[in-house]
Amino acid sequence: VVTLDSLHLAALPPADQIQFELADVDERFHIQHGPDDSWLDGSWRAYDAAINDVWAQYQPPPEMDTETWAQ
């Protein structure tokens, strides 16, 4: 199991930070709710909201285009 503290996570490029955070959301939801096919509608909405929250935290700065920022 790979764990990162907030200092190590902050030192990673944004694309790597996003991958780790999305994997964390996915793992937490599967531990709590089981396999995808057993999830209730409310679980899916909460999962989507958690994923969208991760993406919202990592928007490129206004002065940088999306492709450059993602590298």
What is the full per-residue pLDDT of the chain (71 aa) written as tens digits?
Answer: 566 677 787 888 888 888 888 999 999 999 998 888 888 888 889 999 999 998 888 777 677 666 666 55
Whether the Cβ atoms of residue 58 and residue 18 lie closer than 8 Å to each other: yes
pLDDT tens, position by position, 24-43: 999 999 999 888 888 888 88
Residue 58 makes CB contacts below 8 A (sequence gap 6+) with 14, 17, 18
As to burial, measured by CB atoms within 10 angstroms (0-12 exposed, 13-18 middle, 19+ buried), residue 3 is exposed
pTM: 0.62
pLDDT at 39: 84
Whether the Cβ atoms of residue 16 and residue 70 lie closer than 8 Å to each other: no
Matching residue, tokens 């969208």: 52
